[in-house]
Structure formats: C-alpha cells, structure tokens
Amino acid sequence: MNPANQMNALFGLDETKNQPQAELLHNLLTNSPNGIEIYKPLRDTAGVVYDFLGVSMNPAARQLAGYPADGLAGHTLLQRYPQAKQTGLFDRCVRLISTGEPFEYEHYETERRSWYAYSASVWQDGLVLNFSDITSRKETEIRHRELVDTLNSVLDGSINSIMTFRAMRNAEGQIEDFEILTANQAAEVYLNMPESTMIGQQLLQLFPENLSMGLFDMYVKAMETGQPQRMQALYNGDEQPLWLEESARRLGEDTLLVTFMDITESRLALETVQQQADWLRVVLNGSISCLVSLEAVYDAGHQLIDFRFVVVNRAAERFLETTEAELLGKSLLTCCPWHIDTGLFDLYTTSLREQKEHRQEVYMNQDGFERWLDVSVSPSGSNRLVVAFMNITDVRKAQHALMGESILFKALSNNVPETGVLVCDHTLRILYANGDLPPAFRVSSNQALTNQPFVQMVVPEFREKGLANFTEALSGRSQRMEEQVGDQIYEVFFAPVHNDADQTVMAMLTFRNVTQNRLFQRQLEESVNELKRSNANLEQFAYVASHDLQEPLRKVQSFGDVLADQYREALGETGYDLVQRMQLAARRMSALIHDLLTYSRLSAQTNPFKPANLNQIVAEVIDDLEANIREKSAHIHVGSLPVVQGDASQFRQLFQNLLSNALKFTRAGVQPMINISANLHMDPTDERRLVVEVVVTDNGIGFEQQHAQRIFQVFGRLHGRSEYSGTGIGLAIVQKIAQNHGGEIVAEGYPNKGATFKLLLPIN
C-alpha cells in the first residue's frame, strides 16, 4: 500500500466513497511544509507501551528525516528517534496516549546541528507527530536574545540613567501620562528605586515634579513630533538644588527613550567659571586702559602674518570707534593698518617670539590727526597676546601746550619700592597688607597679617602710637610720624578712607623707608657745606682774575697802544711789529682770562631756575652773530624748541659757543649749513624720566670720533691757533652749563662731513 493509501486507511477514508475528502487529505499531507508522522503504540503483555510503530510519514517528513519512499514502514519511534528517551519525547508520547492531552516542545539535534519544533495529538488509537525545522528562527531568537543581553549590559554599564516609557492616551488621543517600561541600573541608583518598583507605574504619579520642571512637556513634544528633544532642568531637592540634563527620542509608535544625568557639579562649576568670566569682564570694561587679546595668524609656511581680535574691552571700543562684536575674529591689519607704520606689529611679533613683555610709546599721525599711545604687550601662551594701551594724546598735547613744563611718566607699577600699605576697618582688623612692611609686626608674611587684629600683630613698642594714630585716622584725621625700627627709619602716614558719601569706612597706614633719604640728606648737607667752601674759593679766584690779573694786562694793552700810536716812527717797522704781536698776545690773554672767569662762575652758579624759552634764546644768539653769519653766508634752520627750567643766561652762552664753533670750523668753498632741532624721549640711562634732546648739526670740517671726549676738556684744542682762533675753553663751558642743569652733552664727529652735538636736559 502506497503512503497515500496508508493515510486514507488510517484516517478512515474510503476513497471510493469519499473521493473529494481523500484528495483533500492527500493534498494537505503531500504539500504540508511540516513533517507529519503517524504512530501506533506497541504494548507488552501487561499493556505498558514500550514503543510506537511507525505507520506513515508525509513527503516533508521523509525529506527532513532523510528516509526512503516507503517511509516509516517497519520502523519504530525509538528507531526513528534514538535519543527519544533522553530528550523526553518518548515519555511525552506515552503520556499523550494515557491522557489524550496534546504536547509541544523544541529540541536541538546535535548531529544535524538543527532545531526542531515538535507537537503531537491523539488520533484514534495512535498519535500524529508534527515537526518542523526551526533552526533559522531559533538562531534569530538566540541572536536577538544575545543582542538584548548585550544591550542590557551596555545600558546597565552606562553612567547615564536610561528609561523607556509607553505613551498613555485619553479618548481623544492626547497623551495624559507615560507608563514606565524599563530602567537601567544607573537610573535605579540615581532615583533610589529598583526597576521592579517602577515598571508599570505611571510617570506623573511616581514623579509628579516632572510636570513643574517642564520635562513632561518635552516628552510629549518628542513623542508627538518624532524630533529628538533635549533640555536642562532644575530640581529643588530636599538638601540642595539638582541640575539634570535630559534627552528624549521616540522609539516606534508609543515608546519613548529617555536619557538623563546629574550635571549639578558641572553646572555649578560652569556657573563659577561664568561668574569669574563676568567678574573679569567687569574688570576689563571698568579699566580706563584699552585692553585687547589677539591671536596669531600664520601662513602655510608657519610665518606669522597677522593677528585676529579675541577680546576687546569697552575702553578699546571707544578708542577704535567700533564694537567688540564688529572686531571679534577680524584681522588686526585690516581693521587697524596703522600697526605697520607705527612699528606695533613688529613689537607684537617680537613679544610673541621672545615670550617677553614689551612696552613702548607710539606716535601716530593719521591725516594730520596726532595721537600718542602708551602700549604694553604681554604674551599669553604661545599663540596669543594681551595688549594694553592708553591714549595719552591729551597729556602729550598738554605738555606741548605748556612747552615741556609737565611730563608723562610711565604707568605706575604694581609694587612701589620700599613702601608698604596696611588697611584696617573700624574694629582695627587688618583687611589688606602689601609691599615692604617694616619688622614692626610679629609675622614676616603680608598674607599672614590679613584678617588679624592689628593690636596682636604689631610689636609692643609700636602698639601705643599705632593705636592712637589709627583711631585718629578712623575719626577722619590724617596723622604722620617718623619711627626708627632697628637701624631703619620709616616715614609713617595714617589716612582715612572715605566712601562715596564721604564717610570714613577704613583707615590706611603707609610705611615708607626713608633710611637712604636721611643718609643722602646728611651727605647732601655735607656736600652743600663743601660746595659753599668751594664757591668761596672760586669767588676769591674770580676776584683775583678780574682785578689782579686783568688790571696789569689792561695797562700793558694801554702802553702798547701809546707806543703804537705815538712812537711808531721811533720804533721803526721792526719795533712796531713787535708791539703789534704784544697787543695780539695781550688780547688773547684777556679772552682767556675772561673765559676762565666765565667757567669759574658757572661752578658757583646759585641763581634759581626759571622757565627758559629755548626758541627765544637761540633767536637772540643768531641776532648777536648776524655779522659773522652774513660773512660766512651761513644758513641756519631752527625747529620747534621747548621751554625748560634753567638759567637763560647760561643757555645763551651755551648756544653762542656752539654756533660760534659751527661758524668757525667750516670747509672752504662749502656753504655752512646749521640745523637746530629738539625731541622728547626717555632717558637712556634712567627709564623713569623724560628728557628733551636738543641737536645742533653742522656740515663743517668735523673731527675724528676718538677725540669726542677731548674737545670738552679745558684747553682741549684739536687745531693750532694759527689755523683757528680761540681759547680752547668754549666747549668746556658748554659741558659745564649742561651739567649745571642736570643734563649732559655728547659729540659725534665725521671728518670733512660735519659734527653733531646732542644736549640732553631733563624736562623739569
């Protein structure tokens, strides 16, 4: 009997009478993708089932089992499935025959490396066993489970809290709440609640603060729009406010993925940084100095070609006549091209390359509009600069208007040498201590004095006077005293500190070490006494020179004139020539005595200094030398000269000697050209003071530079009297006048090209 007939017989179908049902059953069994096997129980004499005899199997079963066309004919269940007892299949079949309850189960066959799903049900006195190959589905499930396990491990290992919600909608479809589906371990720890307690709960019932914090609205928006949402929310906890950063993303139709983390610490740190930034911005914008931060710009060859603006304070905005927003990120040379002509770009480049601070005063003239800037540049790392500059144009213009009587010194440094400052409040608690404080306190560190009582910090010998004077200062009255501490002498000032309402709120104590001043004062007094004695000697010398030396000389000159006028014929030509030579020698001696007398009087100068207009003085000297200037056809150009403090008569002598020399030492066939100019700059020997430099230049015979010191010596001549007349004292007088005014004069010579004399004078 073929398998189809076996199936028909088994299911009780007479194909002669039930042709349609038989064909339907045949097609069902033949085309089923599942394997179908039919077994009848085999019983022993006691009626116990010991195996099952295979009756039939459909084509799918034969293909899955690898059986021939006759299928199960003659085979039992245990032969078909040798591991049936170990896998429990045999026991399930026996139980099915006994109870009639169908069963299902899945089993992995090691040899075939395949998964099968089995189900069985009773049919007449036997059973029908269905099975199918579910390897593909099972492997997919295993992979899915592994993926889920991996994902859960990742979620539980995340430092972020992660939860999933299901949207709960009302009859109108609006979201009223969310059901909590999952929560990772970080969420359990942060919320102090196990996942099992949260799952299935409504969000707003469990965490009602989500509504007031705006989180619920964000969840709804993310769910309804499908667009990811993010926000930071403040939660006012029991102990302290907490900041949360949350994000929400829709998963599927009604599922929402929510990630959140506690950002309180970073938020507070950010607020601290922001407060510091705001404070720094207030300081920057409150500064009267213009402050900018610049970032270097390099080309492809890493050559510095420009800077771009990073920070610009209010003062700089006003100076540059623009806003910080307009400048940020812009090119320095595009916005301020004058940095090239003024040399500031080179200064910035040098400061960045050397990683050193630099300071320079800059003069600008843009279309006739003059400006002076005091510029300080400091490197900030390897790629940025901080530039501080002040517009000192008004000060410079005021200086010029006052013709040099006032000057602009460099900005005060943070630390004043040999000066200390102490500030106390009304309780005499030290609020501030800085600088060089004397050893009148119990601690050497200024920092250790802060917030300490003054009476406990000061040494006993200074305590009584200090308390008394501090009390006076806190009452609004300034006090001054001088104290010796050890071998040092201090000048001490107690001054009240007022608020805007002119109320005394603090008192300031200033110490200034005047030990060296007192020492210098004593030395100065000794020097003055010595100078007075020297002046007395010089005055005596001047008296002798003017009377005892000049009087006999005048008689010699007078007798010489008588001989030349009345006895010329008696003297003859030879005698007359001798008299003329005697007269010439007498005149030279008279000039020499006169110059020596002038030089000695300069050393005894005691006249008080007054404002001296150098332009007016030079004009008067040129007028006195008019005949000599006309004779030499000389051209003299005089620039703008300042007003300085000094003795006008001495300055007149100085310029007369310099111009006389320039007219004397000329080159044959060359028109004498003399130029007088002046400029202001810092003293090269002392950067703390400003000096005026007056320059007198000529195009005469010049001199070798090696003689630049010798020409200022008394009788220091470079040429014989037969070549150029003179006493050899003129330049010594010039140097003495410069020294009398706290200045100096230097000379630069260029043989057959000319000479330059530079007079350096303090502006005050």
Query: Is residue 693 within 8 Å of residue 656, measured between CB atoms?
Result: no
Q: How far apart are CA 651 and CA 617, in angstroms?
A: 7
Q: How far apart are CA 414 and CA 357, in angstroms?
A: 15
| CATH numeric code, 158-267 | 3.30.450.20
Q: For position 276, what pLDDT does the model report?
A: 78
* Positions in the chain short of pLDDT 50: 1-2, 4, 6, 8-15, 402-414, 720, 722
SS3 string, 347-397, reads HHHHHHHHCCCEEEEEEEEECCEEEEEEEEEEECCCCEEEEEEEECHHHHH
Residues 601, 602, 603, 604: what is their CA dihedral angle, to the nearest 10 degrees? Answer: 50
Q: Cβ of 554: how many Cβ atoms within 10 Å?
A: 12
Q: How far apart are CA 186 and CA 200, in angstroms?
A: 19
Output phi, psi for 118, to 5 deg: -115, 140
Determine the angle formed by the axes of helices 3-10 and 19-31, rounding to 10 degrees: 120
Global pTM exceeds 0.75: no
H helix and E strand count, the chain? 29, 27
Strand partners, 490: 483, 513
389, HSE (Cβ side, Cα atoms, 13 Å): 26
Q: For position 413, what pLDDT does the model report?
A: 27
| CATH numeric code, 607-762 | 3.30.565.10
Query: Is residue 612 within 8 Å of residue 647, measured between CB atoms?
Result: yes
Fold match flag (32-138 vs 519-601): no
Q: What is the largest CA-CA distance in the chain?
A: 198
Q: For position 4, what pLDDT does the model report?
A: 47
Structurally, at CATH architecture level, domain 287-391 sits in: 2-Layer Sandwich (3.30)
Q: For position 404, what pLDDT does the model report?
A: 40
Query: Is residue 423 within 8 Å of residue 508, measured between CB atoms?
Result: yes
DSSP 707: G
Question: Topology of 32-138 in CATH?
Answer: Beta-Lactamase (3.30.450)
Alpha carbon separation from 541 to 298, 377, 586, 597, 604 (Å, rounded):
72, 57, 20, 8, 11
Q: What is the CA radius of gyration of the chain?
A: 56
Query: Is residue 163 within 8 Å of residue 187, measured between CB atoms?
Result: yes
Q: How far apart are CA 441 and CA 450, in angstroms?
A: 12
Q: For position 675, what pLDDT does the model report?
A: 93
Q: For position 676, what pLDDT does the model report?
A: 92
Q: How far apart are CA 182 and CA 71, in angstroms?
A: 52
Question: Selecting from 3.40.50.10260, 3.30.450.20, 3.40.50.10890, 3.40.50.720, what CATH number does the domain 419-513 have?
Answer: 3.30.450.20
| Kind of pairing between the strands at 255-262 and 673-683 | unpaired
Determine the angle formed by the axes of helices 568-603 and 515-543, rounding to 10 degrees: 170
Q: How far apart are CA 665 and CA 724, in angstroms?
A: 8
Q: How far apart are CA 608 and CA 614, in angstroms?
A: 17
Helix, coil or strand: residue 378: strand
Q: For position 388, what pLDDT does the model report?
A: 86
Question: Selecting from 2.60.20, 1.10.287, 2.130.10, 1.20.120, what CATH number does the domain 519-601 have?
Answer: 1.10.287
Domain ranges of the chain: 32-138, 158-267, 287-391, 419-513, 519-601, 607-762
